[in-house]
Amino acid sequence: MKHARELRDRRLHAMLAAVSETFDWPGFLPAFASAAVAAGFRPHRYGSTPSGDLMAWLKPGSGKRSYLSAGIHGDEPAGPLALLELMRSGAFHDQGEWLLCPALNPTGLAMGRRENADGRDLNRDYWVRRTPEVCAHTKWLHANGIADRFISLHEDWESTGFYFYEINCGPDRPDRARAILEAVSPWFPAEPNAVIDDHDIREPGWIYHPAEADMPDHWPEAIFLAKNGCGLSFTFETPSSAPLASRVAAHVAAVRAALEF
């Protein structure tokens, strides 16, 4: 176990040294496809945009169904890059079923802006579903079955530390939340504010969110999944002002810590 962790840490340090501050969108989808195929995933194209296909990656298994997403906001590249590193390093190797959507907003990622090409925030459209990206995505989610657990990777321009939302309809696990924050601590402290993004914290860096949208007509992806039967979700947020390599590393560490539970 110690040897495996040391190898993993060396790989992560090598990856960080190679991360540029510029996100290579044209090269991202081919790179992810290559890594996913090598890891035993199969592709599913569930839609298209002028900047690239809407791609999901599936790996069948007999255990719990886990779904991870990133790139719903085009100015948050650390999430897609973290999923690429997790794929390359074999994080999705156990017997469970895996579903990944690494780039939910191709036009936004191509432009480096939060919204899609039509100026809409996709992560507020999972109730009304007026955008073609979200319409296609929710159709795909229903067709493949709602996951048992969900992890979404985001960034926040207003934060100085790491924080996350947890929606949990099952057993309370404060030890899991603390393990996530401890895993991220080499790169970021927990966000210090007692109110984060208008939400009261349970503990520093940890928002224990009900399975209800803050604005009833503006569901994010996590609320859509909770309302459709996903019992556990995490939304990880790294500070956008920090170096990209640190943000990627923090997401990788947080995902690994969450998956260990």
Is residue 219 a contact partner of residue 126, using CB atoms and an 8 Å limit?
A: yes
The token pair that represents 121 in the structure block: 């925030």
Residue 22: Cβ within 10 Å count: 9
Is residue 195 a contact partner of residue 202, using CB atoms and an 8 Å limit?
A: no
| 32 Cβ neighbours under 8 A, 6+ residues apart | 55, 57, 80, 83, 84, 87, 102, 103
Distance CA 77, CA 89 (A): 19
The token pair that represents 239 in the structure block: 């500070």
The CA R_g of the chain, rounded to the nearest whole Å, is 17
Sign of CA dihedral 101, 104, 109, 114: negative
What single-letter DSSP state applies at residue 131?
A: S
What single-letter DSSP state applies at residue 107?
A: H
Please list the helix, strand and coil fractions of the chain in percent, rounded to the nearest 5, in that order. Answer: 40, 25, 40
Q: Among the options 85, 155, 191, 237, which is catalytic?
A: 237
Whether 237 sits among the annotated catalytic residues: the reply is: yes
Q: Which residues are registered as beta bridge partners of 166?
A: 208, 234
Q: Which residues are registered as beta bridge partners of 227?
A: none
Residues carrying an active site annotation: 237
